[in-house]
């Protein structure tokens, strides 16, 4: 075993978002620990399944379960099916998530609701499905974000959802500890995943400048660090020195972090659109300067 598991490596692991990004990497690491892995995602490609199966040995199994994390009934059915085939999960990690980077005034109601549905309700749906399957000694982890510890420009829906996921994890930590199930919440900064690569095509320059405060990690080292802390049973897990320092300042000196973020935001705003960010609003409460395509 590579990791310092308190109770031995998990024999069975359930991972959502297993078709790409963090979920895919966590699944690979778990297979390396000898776990059988059930993957949950909207779709897991044949290529990913072949990659996973090439990592198995002995009686290890890998299977994909197609499911929409926002559909509570479907998630419950998929998790129940996986438990029948694999047995009770020793470790479950909810990696499914989405992000939309757009200033709040140009973020539509349906877009906001979609982010909340996937990130928050999806976390709830997976927890509600998997916890009844877990025995004492089980471990459920939620992927939140550093954006759930401090806000950032253009992430109203994303930060709201991730702050809420941390709140959900905090509550479940208390409740589930009474029956011997551990809870963890992963709060990474930016990790170079397909989601981040796609987001980078349209990310707002102010958001880009602020996100650079926490740095960007590669998916392999980031998941390796988080898995090590999961094995130790840590509750809050933050990989990367810059992200750890950002969280430290946010916790101990929140006014200082806000001042740094505000300074970065003002500097970039003045360079890209000084009129938009300095002129007063019109009588209707709306900015007098229209939002350009490059700014959204």
Enzyme catalytic residues: 158
Distance CA 53, CA 139 (A): 24
The residue whose two tokens read 């000196």 is 253
Residues 6+ apart with CB under 8 A from 118: 69, 70, 96, 97, 98, 161
Give the pairing of strands 91-94 and 139-143.
Answer: parallel
Distance CA 286, CA 159 (A): 24
Residues linked to residue 25 through DSSP beta bridges, in sequence order: none
Measured CA to CA in angstroms, residue 182 lies from 25, 128, 240 at distances of 22, 15, 23
């Amino acid at each position: 075993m590579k990791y310092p598991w308190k109770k031995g490596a998990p024999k069975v692991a359930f991972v959502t978002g297993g078709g790409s990004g963090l979920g895919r990497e966590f699944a690979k690491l778990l297979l390396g620990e000898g776990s059988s892995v059930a993957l949950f995602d909207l779709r897991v490609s044949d290529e990913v399944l072949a990659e996973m199966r090439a990592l198995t040995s002995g009686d290890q199994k890998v299977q994909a379960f197609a499911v929409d994390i926002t559909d509570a009934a479907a998630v419950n059915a998929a998790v129940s099916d996986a438990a029948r085939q694999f047995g009770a999960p020793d470790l479950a990690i909810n990696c499914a998530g989405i992000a939309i980077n757009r200033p709040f005034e140009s973020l539509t109601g349906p877009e906001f609701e979609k982010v909340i549905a996937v990130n928050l309700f999806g976390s709830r749906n997976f927890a509600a499905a998997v916890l009844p399957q877990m025995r004492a000694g089980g471990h459920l982890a939620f992927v939140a974000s550093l954006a759930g510890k401090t806000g950032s420009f253009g992430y109203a829906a994303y930060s709201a959802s991730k702050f809420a996921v941390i709140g959900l994890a905090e509550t479940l930590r208390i409740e589930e500890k009474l029956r011997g199930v551990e809870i963890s919440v992963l709060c990474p900064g930016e990790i170079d995943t397909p989601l981040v690569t796609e987001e980078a095509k349209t990310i707002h320059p102010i958001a880009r400048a602020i996100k650079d405060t926490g740095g960007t990690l590669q998916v392999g080292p980031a998941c390796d660090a988080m898995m090590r802390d999961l094995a130790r049973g840590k509750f809050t897990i933050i990989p990367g020195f810059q992200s750890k320092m950002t969280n430290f300042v946010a916790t101990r000196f929140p006014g200082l972090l806000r001042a740094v973020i505000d300074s970065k935001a003002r500097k970039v705003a003045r360079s890209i659109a000084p009129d938009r960010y300095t002129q007063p609003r019109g009588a209707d409460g709306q900015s007098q300067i229209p939002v350009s395509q490059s700014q959204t």
